Amino acid sequence: MRYLFAASLGPVQGFIYMARATRDFWFGSWLLSEVSKAGAKSLLENQATLIFPSPQSDLHKDSATNVANKIIAVVTADSFAAVESLAKEMSAAMRERLMDRWQDILRQLKDAPLDGDAALDQIRDLLEITWCAVEFPDLKEYAMRRQEVEALLAARKTTRTYAAATWGKAGRAKSSLDGQRESVLPKGSKGERHRWTYGARRGEELSAIDLLKRLGRRESGQQYFLTTTHMAVLPIIHRFGAEQTGPAAEAWHNYISTLREIAPRLLNDEQVASEYASESFFGNADGTLFFADRVVDELPDGTAPAAMEQHAHDIRTKLGAFYNAAKIVQPNPYYAILVADGDGMGTCISALARAGYERHSQLSQALDDFATAARTIIREHEGAPIFTGGDDVVALLPLHTALSCAAQLATGFRTAMQPFMTNVAAPPTLSAGIGISHYLTPLVDAMALARTAESAAKGMQDKNALAVTVSKRSGGETTVRGHWGEIDSRIATFIAWHQCNLFPDGAAYELRALSRQFPLPREGQDREQIDRLRRVEAWRILRRKAIAAGERANVLNELRMILRITPEDALLPFAGDAVDIDALADMLIVARLFAQVYDQAGITPAQKVMA
């Protein structure tokens, strides 16, 4: 008897996104993929025909393949009891993969004390594996059977039973990451002596799940991941390329020599892995070393106050000398998290189902190929991929490459999906959200910002969009969004204006003040009149601004098009899809941030001013 089988693995967001360090974030994502991969491999070894993931995927441990938390396969069994046996083997393989990584943690901890019983209970209680299967005797009924198995899986997930937690202990501190599980670290000085072994920061409490993410590593040995601080600094590192000598290099080496005398252990700790090392004189220096206050905060405890004051002075002096020699200011402290997701995938999958599960297998392979290409694109843009699986992409990026990377991913996805256009479904597109946060912003909040940006992009009509949300520490959030080919091109133009000093910074804030003084009603008879008033006043503000004389006509022509004003200064009729004053001001403000980073990275204007 043939069955259509579906399985789901959890938790996902609660496990991955509860992170304080970027490596927590990366390893949580990698581990769930490895667990799903182990389940898919178990089914394949039991003669199942995989649909998602692709049957051609490399399902070996630690392979480059990322597998999503959902598995669909066709299995052949004598009875439903035999299907249940296959599901139990799949679940056992998943749990074995998890325990394999936990055993590696225990080997790293060696003699460091730990509440082992509670830790083991927490690990065993982590995975939520749900599965179901329906009879699938006729291959022509694949579309109908798929709907049936999807509905059953959703119903099972909402009606699953919960057992009482066995790992809770009264009087124990809670995890600093999720606030739910109890810490498994010993209390008092006994635990403080092993802080470095646990990978715990001062005052931080960790559960077994936290330890799994904090100390987890791949079989290949990869244990390091770029910090948010390093992401913020990458524009400066990019600026120097492979440069090894010169005034800036000499000043940097003097600074490093000072650190080596003051805090050699700190210098050894603040390094990136060799795969992320710079080709320039920076070598494997982590971004933390570029911020004097961060370095001073990391100086070892117990130093006499007078000596500490002298150390702080020396660090600031030497680092300041480097910035003077490099002719740059301190790094812009912002970086990006990119979250991208396919649009219209459900419609496409449903349409393809009518052609049979083989068509779904082809789609699955195309998604695997895109995920592989996405990792390459992200690395080529100096970013760090956190998850690339199917149509989902999550990555850390420096600001000087974030827009280009997002655009290239969207283009690559559209190309990969083009063969899957049907009479009832257009090929899927990719919408992306870029959340820009200060490097000291808690990672949970930075990730939430990126997901909010993604939601803003997918909230556009017809999707296929980009949204950028900037969260400034000194102010609120600013979001700009639009469809690919429009929003990215316009932001690139504004970046070029700012880089060439063609447009005054104050204009955007005057436009924002105008918008707040005359808010545009959502509906009603006054909407068109107020829109006309706002556009006329915005045009007056922009015309009197000190725009560079040589490019004044080009800049004003672009602004005229945005505000829907004719060359004769007449207003075109109101249009609901036109760029509003608010959106124009926000785009100019966001573009200014990118322009600052581009200048710091030594990048020429992203796009010439329109002729």
347 and 278 co-located in one domain: no
- The answer to whether residue 528 sits within a structural domain is yes
pTM: 0.91
266 and 199 co-located in one domain: no
Here the CATH number for the domain that contains residue 8 is 3.30.70.2220
479 and 384 co-located in one domain: yes
Question: Measuring CA to CA, which residue among 71, 1, 4 is closest to residue 356?
Answer: 4
Q: H or E stretch including 436?
A: strand 429-438
What is the pLDDT at residue 574?
Answer: 65
Q: What is the CA radius of gyration of the chain?
A: 27
pLDDT surpassing 80 at residue 502: yes
322 and 379 co-located in one domain: no
**Confidence grade of residue 191 (pLDDT, cut at 50, 70, 90):** low
Indicate the average pLDDT of the chain: 89
- The answer to whether residue 584 sits within a structural domain is yes
Which domain-ending residue is among 433, 455, 485?
485
8 A C-beta contact, residue 43 and residue 75: yes
**Confidence grade of residue 562 (pLDDT, cut at 50, 70, 90):** confident
Mean pLDDT for the stretch of residues 11-40:
87
- The answer to whether residue 167 sits within a structural domain is no
Mean pLDDT for the stretch of residues 19-26:
82
Phi, psi of 48 (to 5 degrees): -75, 155
Give the pLDDT confidence of 94-130 residue by residue, as tens digits: 999 999 999 999 999 988 888 888 999 999 999 999 9
Here the CATH number for the domain that contains residue 418 is 3.30.70.270
Question: Measuring CA to CA, which residue among 437, 33, 450 is closest to residue 218?
Answer: 33
C-alpha span between 450 and 396 (Å, rounded): 10
Which domain-ending residue is among 423, 455, 485?
485
312 and 375 co-located in one domain: no
- The answer to whether residue 220 sits within a structural domain is no
- The answer to whether residue 490 sits within a structural domain is no
84 and 147 co-located in one domain: yes
What is the pLDDT at residue 503?
Answer: 83
pLDDT surpassing 80 at residue 569: no
147 and 30 co-located in one domain: yes
Total domain count, the chain: 4
110 and 62 co-located in one domain: yes
**Confidence grade of residue 525 (pLDDT, cut at 50, 70, 90):** low
Q: Is 159 left (phi over 0), alpha (psi -120 to 50) or beta?
A: alpha
8 A C-beta contact, residue 491 and residue 594: yes
Helix, strand, coil shares of the chain as percentages rounded to 5? Answer: 55, 15, 35
Q: Determine the Cα angle at 584 with ends 578 and 587, to 5°.
A: 125
Give the pLDDT confidence of 66-88 residue by residue, as tens digits: 899 999 999 999 999 999 999 99
344 and 315 co-located in one domain: no
Mean pLDDT for the stretch of residues 433-438:
98
Give the pLDDT confidence of 464-478 residue by residue, as tens digits: 999 999 999 877 899
Query: Do the bridges between strand 2-10 and strand 384-389 make them parallel or antiparallel, or are there none, so unpaired?
Result: unpaired
What residues have CB less than 8 Å from 76, skipping those under 6 apart?
1, 2, 3, 47, 48
Give the pLDDT confidence of 135-163 residue by residue, as tens digits: 999 999 999 999 999 999 999 888 866 66
C-alpha span between 601 and 331 (Å, rounded): 10
The distance in angstroms from the start CA to the end CA of the chain is 68
Q: Determine the Cα angle at 282 with ends 280 and 288, to 5°.
A: 145
DSSP assignments along 272-298, one per residue:
--GGG--SSTTTTB-GGGG-HHHHHHT
Which domain-ending residue is among 294, 326, 358?
326
The β-bridge partners of 135 are: 3
**Confidence grade of residue 18 (pLDDT, cut at 50, 70, 90):** confident
Give the three-class secondary structure for 69: coil
**Confidence grade of residue 608 (pLDDT, cut at 50, 70, 90):** very low
pLDDT surpassing 90 at residue 585: yes
What is the pLDDT at residue 604?
Answer: 83
User: What domain range is 293 assigned to?
Assistant: 228-326
8 A C-beta contact, residue 206 and residue 177: yes
188 and 288 co-located in one domain: no
- The answer to whether residue 350 sits within a structural domain is yes
503 and 576 co-located in one domain: yes
